[in-house]
Chain A
Amino acid sequence: METALFLDKLILVVSVFGASLGIAMYSTLAERKFAAFFQDRLGPNRAGLFGILQPVADGVKLFMKEEIIPAQANKFLFILGPSLFMITALMTSAVIPWSTPLDLGDRTMELQVTDINIGLLYVFGVVSIGVYGIMIGGWASNNKYSLMGALRASSQMISYELAMGFSIIAIIMITGSMGLKDVVNAQSTELFGISGLNWNIFYQPLGFLIFIICAFAECNRTPFDLPECEAELVGGYHTEYSSMKLGLFLFAEYVNMFISSAMMAGLYFGGYNFPFMYELGLSQNALSILGLVAFMTKILAFIFFFMWIRWTIPRFRYDQLMHLGWKVLIPLAIMNLIATGGVMTFMASK
């Protein structure tokens, strides 16, 4: 039994790792393709059919490029920066529940690497460590633009984590648990007589709005991509990076995007729950696989939304960013929290 559990987890870890990297890889192509479509262009279409081999070509190019470490840079920290950023980006996926358990005859296989009862706290903790990757990388480069980018990244991420945390607390209050699986399972009940539609978005629309804005800021995506704002800071925190170390920074951004899409889908859009999931009378395995498909569809939709926003809205000014974070989103999130608490108390007293 122990070996079976070990094998299950091993398969799960490897496939989650592969899926994160694979989706991140094709996100780079999707980003370029969608950018082109939004601008009435065709996008990369030379490498393979519709350019599907483009990420491979880009990856090979990044590996082949000359590796430059600036003479004045702190070599150890310079290498540590992108590694840390990538590791933390990949670590977050450990607590995400991918679907309902698979029935393997003698045992059931949970489609979640680990179900810790503080899953949400874990995600926040790991995401916060991700700031160190940028900060260390930017500082170790010994370049003023890198340092400015790193400073911007860290202050932005810390500011927006507050509002994000407040919007999450409302979810925790509704669910009464910090485990991600509990949060997702709580959304599988009936709403308007349709099973699997009891999504948190219907209870927390404002919370979701705050969460998605903060997710954009956390991922350093437009309109909050000031840390790598090329018009002012050359390349921001990765100005001095080249070859695959630059690749890791860029790649980790896409992994982060995938993870935060998964978080948004799981916390607010029912995760692997889909409408009519119990009315259809499916077997446990079919339900599990369909749930995974539903979850992936939601994640991909959010990734598309990330890109859609990027090619629509221009970048914020830095004081506007701070104004939005501290003076708008945090008060709004606290108001949302108080309102949620008030409604819950009112409902409980009835």
Chain B
Amino acid sequence: MSGITLTNRKKVLEKKKLSFSESLYLPAIFGGMLITLKHFFMKKATISYPDVKRPFSKVYRGKHVLKRDDQGRENCTACGLCAVSCPAEAITIVADERKKGEEHLYREEKYASVYEINMLRCIFCGLCEEACPKDAIYLTEDLTPANFTRQDFIYGKDKLVQPLNESCHPKTNQPYIKDGKPYEYKNPVYTK
């Protein structure tokens, strides 16, 4: 048994008698104080969160967004693939049929009249994004902020659908850059 160790990092602790200068403790205390003083003037590691936001990676998976197309119509067709693929069963969809005169609101004939994500259940795995055949749901860089009640964590379409007049990159929520200039989204003009 002896001589065989798992990691080869075993170190036998020997209890030596302290030398005179060690037994005074003062040099050690002084050294420690120099270390803490060095940290006193170091750059602080804290990010003051609500004031300063840490830049996230492009593939960060945060709060979801339900996309509109370039004419401002919701992409989602309520196929339910996201809800099926969701391992946490956080997505609830109620499908509805598009009525006449609603063509400027929904791209397909079917749409989700209720689209709810329970942010307490969601594990932000991004499988809904991968399952979506209509480019309708993406996970953005936004965080889901704290709330006081569980009910407030169930995000409906009011919080999820991308606001009108706002064009954004599906992944980052940043404005499109088109020909080197920020691409501005214009309200679509609908004709009956």
Contact = CB atoms under 8 A, between A and B. Distances in A.
Contact of A41 (B32, B33, B35, B46): B46
A39 interface: yes
B40 A34 contact: yes
A47 interface: no
Contacts of A41: 44-46
A41 to B, nearest CB: 5
Nearest to B37: A308
A40 interface: yes
A50 interface: no
Given A42-B46, A42-B48, A37 B40 contact: yes
Interface stretch (A11-19, A114-122, A262-270, A309-317): A309-317
A203 interface: no
A313 B29 contact: yes
A38 interface: yes
Contact of A42 (B33, B35, B36, B44): B44
Contact of A40 (B29, B33, B44): B44
B42 interface: yes
B36 A308 contact: yes
B32 A312 contact: yes
Contacts of A309: 33
Given A37-B39, A38-B39, A39-B39, A313 B32 contact: yes
A38 B36 contact: yes
Contacts of B44: 36-37, 40-42
Interface in A36-74: 36-42, 45
A40 B45 contact: yes
Nearest to B45: A40
Contacts of B40: 34, 37-38
Interface string A281-325: 000000000000000000000000000110111000000000000
Contacts of B39: 37-40
A76 B35 CA distance: 47
A311 B36 contact: yes
Nearest to B35: A312
Interface in B1-43: 29, 32-33, 35-37, 39-40, 42-43
Nearest to A223: B29
A311 B32 CA distance: 10
Contacts of B43: 40
A45 B36 CA distance: 21
Contacts of B48: 42, 45
A246 to B, nearest CB: 28
B46 to A, nearest CB: 5
A312 B45 contact: no
Nearest to B48: A42
A250 to B, nearest CB: 23
Closest 5 CB pairs of A and B: A42-B46, A312-B36, A40-B45, A38-B36, A37-B40
Interface of B: 29, 32-33, 35-37, 39-40, 42-46, 48
Given A37-B40, A38-B40, 7 more contacts: A34-B40, A37-B39, A40-B42, A40-B46, A308-B36, A312-B29, A312-B36
